[in-house]
Amino acid sequence: MKRRILVFCLSAILIVGMLSGCSNGTDTDTGTNTPSDSSSDSDVIKIGVFEPMTGANAAGGQMTVEGIELANEKFPEVLGKKVQLVVVDNKSEKVDAANAASKLIEKDR
């Protein structure tokens, strides 16, 4: 049962990460086409992972991150683009989980 939950969580994280990285390259404020931060960013798909690396649930979070990293080692490219993992610790706390998600969205994009 735990394996099924782990597989479901990993799948959900990867799917959400891939979908959140999709963009049509337009700035929603002005409607104009804006280039990426650098040309190499267009060749990279960032997948954000926020798991408890410390705190009460650290063991489960660390195993999940190890599994995600192993999958990334086996399949480092998707659609010809390199996959980059961005791992953030949510410290097994609700507030830190919200902060980690915000950091992934706003800072790490």
For residues 4 and 97, the model is more confident at: 97
Segment 20-29 shows an average pLDDT of 50
**Token pair for residue 84?**
């980059």
What is residue 26's predicted lDDT score, i.e. its pLDDT?
44
- pLDDT given for residue 77 in this prediction: 92
Tell me what pLDDT residue 66 has.
94
Distances from the Cα of 82 to the Cα of 43, 69, 71, 76, angstroms: 6, 13, 13, 6
Residue 14 predicted with pLDDT over 80? no
pLDDT at 95 over 70: yes
pLDDT of residue 27: 45
pLDDT recorded at residue 32: 43
